[in-house]
Amino acid sequence: MRLLDEHGDAWTAYVSCVGADYATESGFEDARAGSADSEEELVDQYLDAAGVLADIPENLRVYFDTERYLQDMKMSGHVNFEYVNGTYYAFYDCG
């Protein structure tokens, strides 16, 4: 209950991702990758934080296929997305 009180829907999303028997506070902190109103926004946050598009000139970034990158992320299983109460949460390696 403490973790639900502290983290709210993010904790609920994490438990949904890993399962109640495997949910730990340290696992939550390690796996948490962000939250946003859409999966696409989460991908944009990830790309910015990782510097993936840093070498691509600003005027050419519109040609980067964010939707395809999102699909690749989902298929790889390295990043999992959970939707809880209107917000998308991303977690690394929890599925």
The three-class DSSP label of residue 56 is: coil
Q: State the pLDDT at residue 77.
A: 86
Q: Which helix (H) or strand (E) holds 76?
A: helix 66-76
- Counting as low any pLDDT under 70, the low residues of the chain are 95
The pTM score is 0.83
Q: State the pLDDT at residue 3.
A: 87
Q: State the pLDDT at residue 95.
A: 60
Q: State the pLDDT at residue 84.
A: 97
